[in-house]
Structure 1
Amino acid sequence: MSGHPAGPAYGAARQAPTCGTSAALVESLIDQGQLAITREGFRALGAPPADPVVSADRVEGMLLGLAIGDALGNTSEGLPPAERSARFGEITDYLPHPRAGGRPVGLPSDDTQLAFWTLESLLEHRRVVPEDVIARFAAGDVVGIGQTVAAALARYRAGQPWWRAAQPSAGNGAVMRIAPVVVLHLGAPSRDLWADAILAGAVTHNDPTSIAACVALVGLLRAALAMPAPPPATWWLETYIAYARPLEGDRRLEARRPGWAYRGPVWRLVDGPVREALAAGRSTREACEAWGSGAYLLETIPSALYILARHAADPEAALVRAVNDTLDSDTVGAIVGAVVGALHGRAALPARWQAGLLGRTRRDDDGRVFELAAAARALVGPGGSAGRRGGPC
């Protein structure tokens, strides 16, 4: 099954995208006080680096890596790593799934669903249309929906426009789904890349830390798609900081992990304790246990970056660590999976994981993930670039 469920929640909200650039829309929303970032922070990002030359296999790998990471992690999400290990041992394959009659197959949670519904919208409109994105979310049956997304959708269904429905939350429910934004920005570099990342995330999470994380992950993914080899370990930290700092600023987030004292922005935690843990050679479990690995961005982002810094050269090892050594294992798995898929391509993702992934975004649309990934792959031309290709305006 493909397409969208019928109903007023979806159909009534579909609007033609506003003509003009996404960057202009973001600046207008900032000026109206509707986005939780500053114009100075947005402009500090500048234009993305020159066009990367990417392979279609890497674009497909990025998207399937996200779905695989989610599916590997969502059957034990929320278990502390020690308890998970005691119950399941080292997770290296899909666990028996209650929504598949106990079969060990890969099924989606909200990470995959919201990411691929975003991709559906992008493929149709060739840009981020916030009203269309949130309407698709509101029309779907979201598995394991997070509190922030649920609150935003409730306000949207009650008649609020997306920018009023969105929540001021530093949860990870936006960054987990942001990877598809990269697909339409592999052609001429433009500030619309950053603007589309901001808009796609802010439909539910209108928060400077979340917006910064979305932009930074998009920057990491775009670079990873074109890298000839995995970068040095510290590159992941330094690149995240460079993108996130102008948008997040000096926000004071409070650590929630018992025994962990920190107050400040995510980028500074990455620049301090995460960098120090890497220099000390701490294992991913030890490091993630220190600062926490839950759904709070002050935990999710350091954990994902640390796993990439230690294991990005080996996509299987990176994903195994992501789903074994973290609390929010499906979201960390989705983020890490998207990045290593972009870095290595679909061909490098273990065949058993691809074969066991049912590819659902809804209850009975088996294979839809693969269809959408193939459609994104088709945007990459023979020269190894993709772009908006004739948007609707």
Structure 2
Amino acid sequence: MTDNRKTLEWLFEKQKIDIKRGRIFDTSPPPMPGVSDFDRVEGMMLGLAIGDALGNTSEGLHPRKRRAMHGEIRDYRYNPRANAHVGLPSDDTQLAFWTLEQMIEDGAFNPEHVARRFCGGRIFGIGATVSEFVRNYSGGKSWYECGTKSAGNGALMRIAPMVIPHLKSVSSDLWVDTVLSAMITHNDSASIASCVAFVNMLWELLGMEAAPQPNWWLEAFVNMARHLESDNSYRSRSSAFKSYRGTLCQFLQENVSEAYGRDISAVEACDSWFSGAYLLETVPSVIYILMKHGSDPEEAIVRAANDTVDNDTIGAIVGAAVGALYGRRRLPERWVSKLPGRTAEADDGRIFEMLSAAKALWG
């Protein structure tokens, strides 16, 4: 039994983790076919960085206001807070690549070391939950006591690299490591379940030879997450769903498929449930965009950047998904070539260095 598995079993025993102990923790994912040239893995991580960079210069704007101010965003915009550079990262890219960086250094996932790494640099656009985690960890709490019960998207946005160390050593430790990684900052049922479900989706996407059918995106997420969610008290912030109370998966099943059946646009659907940083807004937005546009990686990322409020994080998650499916070579070259590759204020090219190091270890 690995140290991480022992830790997770102890957390379950002591009821210190907000998730059910589903059978998935005793089940290995299927062996990974292909990925021989690491292009799909690079696509996953670069798609995440691209989605973040396309969105973060207009994050938080309602899509109508964004369009009125900037037109349709299809390329990086100058960042007025960073000497007018383009393609710069925010917390989505930073925390995802800091996770990868620490795993490269350790040769595997060590939650204590990743927690420490998160507190070791300036986080751009840091959210309230991650800020609270930093205060807790810096104040001397154990890493597993620092995450708060928050259904924000700050764990989901950074979870993609968890698949990488497991590509050649397939076991149920993939789920163990994902859960521990998620709870570092967000010890919440919907958040942890979402992270496991998304990592499972990425694992499957990395091995696919063609885009899945539209319904796959919703079914794959729900079929995994519903066995793990333990909290059925989530409410929607949208007036259109003001009577809703239940799990994240129930919300998805009731509302995403209904919107898709009406064939409404991504912006209309995302506006109906809002598209902010709350998981009952982020996850349906991600899934709906992928259902509508998952066959076109560029359009999927563009829709995330334009049609949602928390567009950098939704763009990062959508970007990771289509990047895993299509690989680096299918991402627009203008986006890849203009990406500085930073994870901090002046470490140009760093994410490309990390991907090369990860390929040497696990490719």
Q: Under TM normalisation by the shorter chain, which class is it?
A: over 0.9
Deviations along 1:240-283, whole A, 9 cap, x unmatched? Answer: 01110111145220101233332211111221210111122111
Which deviates more from structure 2 when the two are superposed, residues 352-361 or residues 170-179?
352-361
Is residue 301 of structure 1 aligned with residue 283 of structure 2?
yes
Is residue 98 of structure 1 aligned with residue 80 of structure 2?
yes
2:122 to 141, 156, 167: 141
Deviations along 1:212-251, whole A, 9 cap, x unmatched? Answer: 0110110010111110000000001000011101111452
Partner SS, residue 248 of structure 1: coil
CA distance in 2, matches of 1:159, 1:249: 28
Deviations along 1:6-65, whole A, 9 cap, x unmatched? Answer: xxxxxxxxxxxxx825333211211122211233x2546722123332241001110111
The Cα RMSD (Å) is: 1.5
Residue 9 of structure 1 corresponds to none
CA distance in 1, matches of 2:264, 2:319: 21
TM-superposed CA distance for 1:164, in Å, is: 1.3
CA distance in 2, matches of 1:42, 1:75: 42
Partner SS, residue 247 of structure 1: coil
CA distance in 2, matches of 1:315, 1:344: 7
Count residues in correspondence.
361
CA distance in 2, matches of 1:139, 1:109: 15
Which deviates more from structure 2 when the two are superposed, residues 215-224 or residues 271-280?
271-280
Residue 196 of structure 1 corresponds to 177
Is residue 72 of structure 1 aligned with residue 54 of structure 2?
yes
CA distance in 2, matches of 1:201, 1:219: 14
Matches within 5 A, 1:335-354: 335-354=317-336
Instruction: Could you list the structure 1 runs, at least 4 aligned residues long, displaced by more than 6 angstroms after superposition.
Output: none
1:48·1:190 contact (CA, 8 Å) conserved in 2? yes
Partner SS, residue 114 of structure 1: helix
Residue 122 of structure 1 corresponds to 103
Residue 310 of structure 2 corresponds to 328
Residue 210 of structure 2 corresponds to 229
Is residue 185 of structure 1 aligned with residue 160 of structure 2?
no
2:296 to 308, 314, 318: 314
Amino acid corresponding to residue 280 of structure 1 in structure 2: R
Residue 211 of structure 1 corresponds to 192
Matches within 5 A, 1:1-393: 20-39=2-21, 41=22, 43=24, 46-55=27-36, 56-103=38-85, 105-249=86-230, 251-261=232-242, 262-381=244-363
1:255–1:45 CA distance, 2 compared to 1 (3 A) = farther
Structure 2: stretches of 5+ with no match in the other structure: none
TM-score normalised to the size of structure 2? 0.96
Which deviates more from structure 2 when the two are superposed, residues 287-296 or residues 259-268?
259-268
TM-superposed CA distance for 1:377, in Å, is: 2.8
Identity in percent: 52
TM-score normalised to the size of structure 1? 0.89
Partner SS, residue 28 of structure 1: helix
2:20·2:229 contact (CA, 8 Å) conserved in 1? no
CA distance in 1, matches of 2:11, 2:76: 43
1:77·1:327 contact (CA, 8 Å) conserved in 2? yes
2:25·2:173 contact (CA, 8 Å) conserved in 1? no
Which deviates more from structure 2 when the two are superposed, residues 366-375 or residues 207-216?
366-375
1:52·1:186 contact (CA, 8 Å) conserved in 2? no
Amino acid corresponding to residue 34 of structure 2 in structure 1: V
1:52·1:223 contact (CA, 8 Å) conserved in 2? no
1:45·1:246 contact (CA, 8 Å) conserved in 2? no
CA distance in 1, matches of 2:135, 2:47: 30
TM-superposed CA distance for 1:176, in Å, is: 0.1
2:189·2:231 contact (CA, 8 Å) conserved in 1? no
